[in-house]
Each structure stands twice: as C-alpha cells, then as structure tokens.
Amino acid sequence: MKITLRALRVNAGFTIKEASYRLGISSVTLRSYENKKTKPNIDLLNRMLKLYNVKFSNFEYSNEDQELILT
C-alpha cells in the first residue's frame, strides 16, 4: 500500500499552513514535497511522521515515487 505525504497531512487534520509552521518550513516547500517536485531529507521526513502521528514499524520511503510504502 502506498501513502502520499499529502494524504498523511490531510488525514492528520493539518492544513498546509499549519503543518509547515509546525515543521519550521515554508508552505511552498511543503507543497513542493507533496507535489513530488523536491524530496525531504530523512530528518524532515521523520519530523513529518511524528507530527502526523504516523507509527509504522515496517515501511520504506520511495525516493522515486516520493511515497511511503507499507511492507
């Protein structure tokens, strides 16, 4: 199963503005991650998962697709 960063944010109940503020990045930057124009580094990805309250024990992040893949 694949899950996009946008889907994680929306499911957690955050707007772009709220999530970007809490992550300490601009909304333009967050939007570019969600639209797969740029890729977050592993530290930021971990902060996103923590903010969105995502706890997967087995997942991979596909750099090519920029999606979380549950294994």
Residue 57, pLDDT above cutoff 80:
no
Q: Tens of pLDDT along 14-45?
A: 999 999 999 999 999 999 999 989 888 888 98
4 vs 14, residue with greater confidence: 14
Q: What pLDDT was estimated at residue 17?
A: 98
Q: What pLDDT was estimated at residue 13?
A: 97
**What per-residue string of b and e applies to 9-36 under the rule 16 or more CB within 10 Å gives b?**
beeeebebeebbeebebeeebbeebbee
Residue 70, pLDDT above cutoff 70:
no
Residue 69, pLDDT above cutoff 70:
no
Residue matched to tokens 């998962």:
49
